[in-house]
Amino acid sequence: MDHMYMTTLSVSVVLISIIWYIKTLLKPRGKSSPPLPPGPRGLPILGYLPFIGNNLLHQFTYLGHKYGPIYKLYLGNKLYIVISSPSLVKEVVRDQDSVFANRDTPVAALVATYGGNDIAWSPQNSQWREMRKLFVQEMLSNKSLKESYSLRRDEVRKTIKHAHTNMGKPVEIGELSFRTELNVIMNMLWGGIIEGEEGKLIGAEFRDIVAGGTDTTATTVEWAMAELMNNPDAMDKAQKELSDVVRLDNIIEESHIPNLKYLAAVIKETLRLHPALPLLLPRSPSQSSTIGGYIIPKNTQVFINVWSIHRDPSVWDNPNEFKPERFLDDNGKWDFRGNYFHYLPFGSGRRVCGGVPLAERMLIYLVASLVHSFEWKLPTEGEALDMSETFGIVLRKTKPLFIIPTARLPDNLYV
């Protein structure tokens, strides 16, 4: 019985494979219709899924080297396109921004966001426009951010006090940053910054912001501290800048930030090597379009491999080296607005990260406060820091960073 069952199953699989290949080969193509991008062949039904391995990001990058800066692959029966060249990125996020500003919400995100009903996963429609406008122009306007400074200050001071209380013991930097950012965002969203009718709108639609904003910021702070621990020269330069600008008899305030040029370069370099969302959030064209001479059918998921663009040796000298100096004296060219398609840690176009004004303030404020307030050492002197990364939408440090603080400032500056 078992034998007969297995034989029937095998024959069926072979037949399905043959029909699938014949259908693919004989598919009629309009004369003028451009082809789909090249890409690896997968198995019938499963597509490339069995070969994707456990590091999607590295596999996507490997396939980019093999098939070029635009390629396709099927995962199950769903078509994905991966893009990894600045000129093709420009076609997507600048030249055809309005077509590619849609999202095709993955099932997991649909569940987590009660039906894709939030800013990040919503398709491009009037509800998204309204939510985004309220978020960017009201909640994160310069005026609101100025008014909410005391909230951020309180949370950062609490964090520094907490680390001071635990001096001599290893501190988990990712966890510490996560808690700080979570409190900041929760207070800003539900702490009365927006009042009246608008305040009532701030509910479920913004919950994802909480998840997206906290994880991304915390993981970036962790990577920045790990890179500084791994590069003592860079740590010395950052601390010297803080001693000059803030002084050792003072604590850092957000007003110091514009003068912290080296620290700003440290954050930019960290986001180059470790972009928190290395494939951005997938775009999906609202109509079939042509990119780089290839057809991208409507509703395909399009990934932009920023991780690979940020390490492209034709753009960056020694791309795998942590060198904040490359961002010094750039006259603001490499900003976070996604205007240069070689550097896109916050994405680009109309779906660019809505939290940039808060993220850039918090990243530098938190890292500068940790570096100014303490000397840090690894639990085991001389230990090589494990810098391996794990990808799961957010690019995390595989081994959480634990480091030990000792005070750098007078005691009265920790209360």
345 binds ligand HEM (CB under 6 A): yes
Select the residue interacting with ligand HEM from 89, 156, 277, 395 (CB under 6 A): 277
Q: Count of residues binding ligand HEM (CB under 6 A)?
A: 26
Closest CA to 141 of 89, 95, 194: 194
Q: How far is CA 129 from the centre of its chain?
A: 22
Smallest distance from ligand HEM to CB 144, Å: 12
Smallest distance from ligand HEM to CB 3, Å: 52
120 binds ligand HEM (CB under 6 A): yes
DSSP track, 120-189: TTS-SSHHHHHHHHIIIIIITSHHHHHHTHHHHHHHHHHHHHHHHHTTTS-EEHHHHHHHHHHHHHHHHH
- Is residue 80 within 8 A of residue 305, CB to CB? The reply is no
116 binds ligand HEM (CB under 6 A): no
User: CA-CA distance, 186 to 208, in Å (whole number)?
Assistant: 11
Between 261-273 and 356-373, two packed helices, what is the crossing angle to 10 degrees? 110
Smallest distance from ligand HEM to CB 281, Å: 4
81 binds ligand HEM (CB under 6 A): no
Nearest CB to ligand HEM, comparing residues 73 and 120: 120
213 binds ligand HEM (CB under 6 A): yes
- Is residue 400 within 8 A of residue 386, CB to CB? The reply is no
Tell me the two tokens of residue 177: 């940053």
Nearest CB to ligand HEM, comparing residues 51 and 190: 190
Select the residue interacting with ligand HEM from 276, 302, 368, 401 (CB under 6 A): 276
80 binds ligand HEM (CB under 6 A): no
279 binds ligand HEM (CB under 6 A): no
216 binds ligand HEM (CB under 6 A): yes
What is the per-residue binding string for ligand HEM in 357-386, x denoting contact by CB under 6 A? -xx---x-----------------------
DSSP track, 198-256: HHHH-SGGGHHHHHHHHHHHHHHHHHHHHHHHH-HHHHHHHHHHHHHHT-TTS---GGG
Smallest distance from ligand HEM to CB 298, Å: 18
Smallest distance from ligand HEM to CB 201, Å: 14
Nearest CB to ligand HEM, comparing residues 68 and 123: 123
User: CA-CA distance, 131 to 406, in Å (whole number)?
Assistant: 44
- Is residue 319 within 8 A of residue 101, CB to CB? The reply is no
Select the residue interacting with ligand HEM from 134, 185, 242, 246 (CB under 6 A): 185
User: CA-CA distance, 81 to 72, in Å (whole number)?
Assistant: 4
Nearest CB to ligand HEM, comparing residues 119 and 163: 119
184 binds ligand HEM (CB under 6 A): no
User: CA-CA distance, 88 to 95, in Å (whole number)?
Assistant: 10
Nearest CB to ligand HEM, comparing residues 35 and 203: 203
Q: Which residues bind ligand HEM (CB under 6 A)?
A: 119-120, 132, 185, 209, 212-213, 216-217, 220, 276-277, 280-281, 345-348, 351-355, 358-359, 363
